[in-house]
Amino acid sequence: MEMKNGEIDLSVDLGSLKLDNPIIPASGCFGFGYGMEDYYDVNILGSISLKGTTLEPRFGNPLPRVAECEAGLINSVGLQNPGIHKVIEEELPKAAKVFKKPLIANISGFSIEEYVECCRLIDTQECIGLIELNVSCPNVHGGGMSFGTSREDVAKVIKEVKRVITKPLYVKLTPNVTDIVSIGLAAQEAGADGLVAINTMLGMRIDLKTRRPVIANIMGGFSGPAIFPVALRMVYQLSHACSIPVIGCGGISSAKDVLEMMIGGASAVEIGAANLINPYACKEIIENLPVEMEKLGITNLKELKI
């Protein structure tokens, strides 16, 4: 079946938020968007998930905090960011100058109160089209376990945040659970407008010469092509169990990966580690999408889910 690129529709819907294409750089892998315009016009992207933001400034974890793997990398950056107030005052204006579409704010917290206050503040910003809640942070009032590993904690934080915001709320789920579907359903029932799956897995490396862990914090978030099959499986499970959109994330590094993830149930995708290897990764994927779609006789991304 022969088609012209002009006939191919790359647009996707995330509820009320419409994107020109499904490609979103993942939080932590694209900063606040500005600076990347030196490589290409970032307005070709569907959106940008901004660097994870907390209430107070964070300097991050001790060095070293990145370890290479054969099919990915491990990081333990520790949510280094200038804090919500500086993000609003300094980072968002810079981002809005180079990116003219709605941005995605990634919000992290170590207590429900912190999540609520960060979301309340970022919700007032016109350039933000969607709030992405990272529930992989340890709950300092709940024994240190990640919010995202407990149905009850996930539901509680979502309900509290929803009371103070007007923008859509997507919840970024950790894969480090026994049953991600139960967490996704709890998020949906609590009022989440969508899900993002998956955040990094947990991994480590050991330096053979020193016989010590490479990363100062011993373990860190494992990302890259190696986790793609796990991410795809979880997106498939979530998208078929839940009625809200799912943004697929985890190991995507090509246009073929994007199509596979969207056939598996993703409404859009986030590209993470690939940007750290090749700053042109998202640009190349957007350019290759129509080519791969034409090969497969696909004209509309919205009709891919099986």
Catalytic residue annotation: 137
**Are 253 and 281 spatial neighbours (Cβ–Cβ below 8 Å)?**
yes
**83: alpha, beta or left? (left if phi > 0; alpha if psi -120 to 50):** left
**Are 207 and 213 spatial neighbours (Cβ–Cβ below 8 Å)?**
yes
| Among candidate residues 154, 157, 76, the one with its CA nearest the CA of residue 112 | 157
Written as one string, the DSSP assignment of 6-39 is GG-B--EEETTEEESSSEEEPTTSSTTSTTGGGT
Q: Which residues of 155-170 are buried (b: 16+ CB within 10 A; e: fewer)?
A: bbbbeebbeebebbbb
Cα distances from 61 to residues 102, 172, 181, in angstroms, run 30, 21, 31
Greatest C-alpha distance within the chain: 58
Q: Residue 238: is it exposed, middle or buried by C-beta count within 10 angstroms (0-12/13-18/19+)?
A: buried
Spatial separation of the C-alpha atoms in residues 96 and 143, rounded to whole Å: 38
Strands (E) in 121-239, as ranges, are: 128-134, 169-172, 194-197, 201-203, 206-207, 212-213, 220-223
Q: How far apart are the first and last CA of the chain?
A: 21
Cα distances from 175 to residues 136, 149, 295, in angstroms, run 9, 9, 33
